[in-house]
């Protein structure tokens, strides 16, 4: 059974719908800007933020912003838009929503925000329940919370559930907001670059954080598709089993995920037209990925990272970057790795350094995260 992609929506620093985001990506425009010291961080840092004023204004058209947290507003808007554009009936008994997030409404742990909302909204099941109630969903949404691979892993889970015959349509929404909680944590790891990130570059010195929310609609039926259809051809997850925060020194964990995704998709490495990698621009992550790609024998496959445009969006990353990759396939257009100049990783890989048209049919999307987890999903035009 095929798993078709029949709709999507992206809300990020680059815009409030997928088209706006794609337009800015193709033009090489970044959403990462230096933000002053203040609420988010005691020192200035580059970050890619969603326009709060615009979010509130857009959300006000459908409900009162005071009754929903920022993340909930983004998730509701995103799911609504994606479902409407794809014709998905969210309330159907054979429809399911999967929520991917690392920290949910963690801002509600802050002293002065504690009583703004019922305590259960701090819990990810409480966030899922709120979204269920808003859309009057038949099923309680599944929640995947698995570090930075959540957004991609949720797509793998959604595809498996459609293939199991249990559901006809699955909407996957990935989202995370930036909070002092998250920013301070990455600062304690000294993993933030003082400048916008430079994936795979010899001078890379850390990641840039971003916030975003994206929804992708998966369906067992080919519907709402203009000409070429894209499917989730296969996916897999794995664990490095090496260290809880440091990437594997060999790349063997990510290699296992890549190998298994290829096997599930029944594709050979020379059929993959490009890899949209994780590319956070930390010294170790990018090195690890270069090793994994070489272990897979894919060092000649064009590879990019999108983190230079939208930052590392945590629970949204896998979802939003998958959508961008699918749109790249449909438009036959590769997006360059913004921030990259000179290759500086442990093993040679082929970085996409120019946005250009190219015949594209199959894309491998990968992600890695704290806890040693890895995910790989292949998207194919059929």
Partner 1 sequence: MEELILDLKKQLIEALNLEDITPEEIDTNAPLFGDGLGLDSIDALEIILILEKYYGIKIDDPKAGAQIFYSVKTIADFVVANRK
Partner 2 sequence: MSDQVMISGWCKINNSRILVNDKLVFESPESLDFSEFSKAAFKALEQPYLKFYKMDNLSKLGFLCAEHLLKHNPIDGKYIPEEIGIILSNAESCIDTDIEHQKTITDANNYFPSPSIFVYTLPNIVIGEISIKHKFQGENTFFIFEQFQPDFMTGYIQGLFDGGQLKACIAGWVDLSPNAKNYNAVFFLAEKSGGSEVQFTSENLKNIYNQ
**Number of residues in contact with partner 2, rule: CB under 8 A?**
55
370: contact with partner 2 by CB under 8 A: yes
The smaller minimum CB distance to partner 2, of residues 206 and 339, is found at: 206
Handedness of CA 340, 344, 345, 348 (dihedral sign): positive
**Active-site position among 148, 197, 276, 363:** 148
Between 123 and 284, CB nearer to partner 1: 284
Contacts of residue 61, Cβ cutoff 8 Å, sequence gap at least 6: none
Residue placing its CB nearer to partner 1 in the complex, 193 or 380? 193
Cβ-based neighbours of 10, under 8 Å, separated by 6 or more:
17, 18, 21, 78, 212, 213, 214, 320, 323, 324
| Contact between 190 and partner 1 per CB under 8 A | yes
Q: Residue 194: count other Cβ atoms within 10 Å of its Cβ.
A: 12
Output the smallest distance, CB 239 to partner 2, in A: 4
**Among the residues of the chain, which ranges form H helices?**
18-26, 52-60, 70-86, 124-135, 150-163, 180-188, 252-265, 283-295, 307-310, 317-331
Write each residue from 121 to 160 as x if it is in contact with partner 2 (CB under 8 A), else as -, in one continuous string.
-xxxx--xx----------x-xxxxxx-----x---x--x
Task: Name the residue nearer to partner 1 (CB basis): 217 or 373.
Answer: 373
CB 152 within 8 A of CB 225: no
Tell me if residue 332 is catalytic: no
Distance CA 7, CA 279 (A): 26
Q: Which of 17, 85, 187, 271 binds partner 2 (CB under 8 A)?
A: 187
What is the gyration radius of the CA atoms in the chain, in angstroms?
19
Nearer to partner 2, 106 or 364 (CB): 106
Report the distance separating Cα 101 and Cα 95, nearest Å: 20
- The smaller minimum CB distance to partner 2, of residues 38 and 194, is found at 38
CB of 89 to partner 2, least distance (A): 22
Other Cβ atoms closer than 10 A to 59: 18
191 Cβ contact list (under 8 Å, min separation 6) = 206, 207, 282
Please report how close the Cβ of residue 128 comes to partner 2 at its closest, in angstroms. Answer: 8
**Segment near partner 1 (CB under 8 A), from 9-17, 132-140, 182-190, 318-326?**
182-190
Contacting partner 2 within 190-229 (CB under 8 A): none
- Residues in 196-255 at the binding interface with partner 1, rule: CB under 8 A: 243-246
Active site residue 312: yes
* 214: its two tokens: 């994206």
Does residue 256 belong to the site contacting partner 2 (CB under 8 A)? yes
Q: Please give the Cα distance from 99 to 146 (Å, whole number).
A: 11
Q: Does 116 bind partner 2 (CB under 8 A)?
A: no
| 188 near partner 1, judged by CB under 8 A | yes
Token readout for 196 is 């916008």
In angstroms, rounded to a whole number, what is the distance separating the alpha carbons of residues 306 and 326?
Answer: 13
Q: Which does 277 bind (CB under 5 to 8 A by kind): partner 1, partner 2, none?
A: none
| CA gap 185, 104 in Å, rounded | 15
Our answer to whether residue 278 is catalytic in this structure is yes
Q: d(Cα 272, Cα 270) in Å, to the nearest integer?
A: 6
Provide the annotated active-site residues: 148, 278, 312
* Chain residues that interact with partner 2, rule: CB under 8 A: 42, 102-104, 106, 109-111, 122-125, 128-129, 140, 142-147, 153, 157, 160-161, 164, 166, 180-181, 184-189, 236-245, 252-253, 256, 260, 264, 369-373
Residues that bind partner 1 (CB under 8 A): 188-190, 243-246
């Amino acid at each position: 059974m095929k798993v078709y992609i029949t709709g999507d929506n992206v809300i990020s620093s680059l815009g409030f719908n997928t088209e706006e985001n794609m337009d800015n990506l193709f033009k090489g425009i970044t959403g990462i800007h230096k933000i002053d010291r203040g609420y988010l961080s005691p020192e200035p840092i580059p970050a890619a933020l969603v326009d709060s004023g615009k979010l509130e204004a857009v959300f006000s058209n459908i409900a009162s912003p005071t009754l929903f947290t920022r993340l909930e507003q983004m998730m509701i808007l995103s799911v609504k838009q994606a479902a409407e554009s794809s014709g998905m009936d969210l309330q159907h008994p054979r429809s399911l929503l999967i929520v991917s997030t690392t920290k949910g409404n963690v801002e509600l742990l802050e002293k002065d925000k504690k009583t703004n909302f019922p305590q259960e909204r701090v819990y990810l099941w409480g966030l899922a329940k709120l979204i269920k109630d808003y859309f009057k969903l038949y099923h309680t949404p599944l929640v995947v919370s698995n570090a930075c691979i959540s957004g991609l892993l949720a797509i793998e889970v959604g595809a498996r559930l459609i293939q199991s015959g249990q559901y006809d349509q699955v909407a996957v929404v990935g989202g995370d907001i930036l909070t002092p909680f998250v920013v301070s944590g990455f600062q304690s790891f000294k993993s933030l670059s003082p400048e916008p990130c430079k994936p795979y570059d010899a001078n890379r010195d850390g990641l840039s954080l971003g916030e975003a929310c994206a929804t992708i609609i998966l369906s067992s039926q080919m519907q709402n598709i203009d000409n070429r259809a894209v499917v989730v051809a296969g996916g897999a997850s794995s664990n490095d089993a090496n260290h809880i925060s440091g990437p594997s020194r060999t790349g063997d964990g990510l290699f296992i995920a890549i190998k298994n995704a290829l096997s599930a998709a029944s594709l050979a490495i020379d059929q993959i037209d490009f890899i949209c990698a994780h590319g956070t621009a930390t010294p170790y992550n990018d090195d690890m990925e270069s090793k994994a790609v070489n272990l897979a024998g894919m060092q000649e496959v064009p590879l990019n990272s999108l983190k230079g445009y939208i930052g590392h969006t945590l629970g949204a990353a896998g979802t939003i970057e998958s959508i961008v990759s699918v749109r790249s396939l449909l438009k036959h257009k590769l997006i360059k790795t913004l921030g990259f100049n000179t290759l500086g990783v442990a093993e040679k890989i082929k970085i996409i350094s120019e946005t250009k048209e190219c015949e594209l049919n199959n894309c491998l999307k990968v992600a890695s995260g704290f806890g040693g987890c890895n995910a790989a999903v292949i998207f194919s035009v059929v």
